[in-house]
Chain A
Amino acid sequence: MSHIARLKPVVEESIRMTTRIDRRFARLKEENRPALVTYFMGGDPDYETSLSIMKALPAAGSDVIELGMPFSDPMADGPAIQAAGLRALRGGQTLAKTLQMARDFREGDDDTPIVMMGYYNPIYIYGVDRFLTDAKEAGIDGLIIVDLPPEMDDELCVPAIKAGLNFIRLATPTTDEERLPKVLENTSGFVYYVSMTGVTGSALPDTNNVSAAVSRIKEHTDLPICVGFGVKTARQARAIGEAADGVVVGSAIVAAIAQCYDANGKRIEDPAEAVATLVKGLADGVRSKQMA
């Protein structure tokens, strides 16, 4: 019996507050279309450029923004996002500056949900309570911290939920029926289904498998399911969007930013424009689902 007791949410439903994420997914459900979730690395390659990219995302069709927090040891990320993190750190990005980016963004946009994504150590060093206070005040809605499993929920997940932030967890093809309830237990906002085993930016899997996986997870939760890791084109975004409540695109955006610079780091194209063009195409792909 003891393990059944443990599976009850640590934080009662009444404490969970509605965030911009909840409101956004509710609206998209009314519109009957999946969300386009866009990831970029905060501070890549410098603060001002990165902020201009962030500001361009909603108009280009991004429904949810994932704001990457650079970390020196990004063990879940593939080459594209690893390189972006290193560029951001070389550009002087810190956790405090990433929070400031959200604050600056919020001056012109109070609707688009922002999820901060990254690794735990910078938050641990910043101080969990201080971070949650500052994140909430900066207009952050949710957190994805890839190196904190459910067993460590007391570290950050439960305090985050109490502070009114969603804590979004990743499920993968290897998250089996026994593990899934544990992973979903304190997850809120949405579930991020990682569509393959491996690091970010790897090859896209079979859409049929994704569809089956989304159905499997939906047996355990009413939360929206967003699928990512490997989505690069509008066609892929459309295919995933037909199976899931949202499509996450990360590495393709980060790669588009990198391509705006030549081998010497000289800017040859405007990254905000390049990202906007890419995201518009992806948004068209995602939105074409309703016509189908």
Chain B
Amino acid sequence: MTAGRPGVLHGNRTYLLQNDDGQILDGHSVSAGLDYPGVGPEHSWLKDSGRVIYSPILDDEAIEAFQMTTRLEGIIPALESAHAIAHAIKLAPAMGRDQIMIVNFSGRGDKDVHTVGKMLGMEM
């Protein structure tokens, strides 16, 4: 959303990571669900219509948010959701105490424990 431009892949016209010849570039993400060179077309529409602001999050930031939520809340978030939490952590300090923020935990992180363990250098 921040590095791509509109193209057509797998039957969708949407924002894609691609070069000037329309060849698709490899995406990368620690989270399998985000490791795709495009986004759902509805996100492209929400971006273009200005209704949603999309922000990138680094792998390390997502891992840190994953650990923090697990430790402080006892909730293991999916790595995909951990990206949203990471951004919430960035936004929160600039907000007033009475302002409310909602983060959608779209999935559970049990499935990601091995990935995170490896990232943290554990023997799995």
* A interface residues with partner B (beta carbon < 8 Å): 70-73, 75, 89, 94-96, 120-126, 147, 149
Contact = CB atoms under 8 A, between A and B. Distances in A.
Contact of B24 (A73, A124, A147): A73
30 contacts: A70-B23, A71-B22, A71-B23, A71-B24, A72-B23, A72-B24, A72-B25, A73-B10, A73-B24, A75-B10, A89-B23, A94-B21, A95-B21, A120-B8, A121-B7, A121-B9, A122-B21, A122-B22, A122-B23, A123-B22, A124-B8, A124-B22, A125-B18, A125-B20, A125-B21, A126-B21, A147-B8, A147-B10, A147-B11, A149-B11
A121 B18 contact: yes
* Majority DSSP secondary structure for residues of A touching B: helix
B9 A125 contact: no
A120 to B, nearest CB: 5
Contacts of B16: 121
Ranked 10 nearest A-B pairs via Cβ = A125-B22, A122-B22, A72-B23, A72-B24, A121-B22, A94-B21, A121-B7, A121-B8, A73-B24, A120-B8
Contacts of B25: 72
A231 B64 CA distance: 54
A70 B16 CA distance: 18
Nearest to A75: B10
B22 A95 contact: yes
Interface string B1-39: 000000111110000101011111100000000000000
A132 to B, nearest CB: 15
Contacts of A147: 8, 10-11
Nearest to A123: B22
Nearest to B23: A72
- Sort chain B's interface into a size bin: 10 to 19
A149 B18 CA distance: 22
Contact of A124 (B7, B11, B20): B7
A126 B11 contact: no
A165 B116 CA distance: 53
B17 to A, nearest CB: 10
Given A71-B23, A95-B22, A121-B24, 19 more contacts: A70-B23, A71-B22, A72-B23, A72-B25, A73-B9, A73-B10, A95-B21, A120-B8, A121-B7, A121-B8, A121-B22, A121-B23, A122-B21, A124-B7, A125-B7, A125-B18, A125-B20, A125-B21, A147-B11
A73 to B, nearest CB: 5
Nearest to A70: B23
A101 B9 CA distance: 25
A264 B21 CA distance: 28
A152 to B, nearest CB: 9
A79 B6 CA distance: 28
Contacts of B21: 94-96, 122, 125-126
A249 B69 CA distance: 57
A218 to B, nearest CB: 29
A96 B16 CA distance: 21
A267 B115 CA distance: 42
> Chain A CB within 10 Å — which of B20, B23, B25 has the most?
B23
Contacts of A126: 21-22
A149 B20 CA distance: 24
A71 B18 CA distance: 11
A126 B9 CA distance: 15
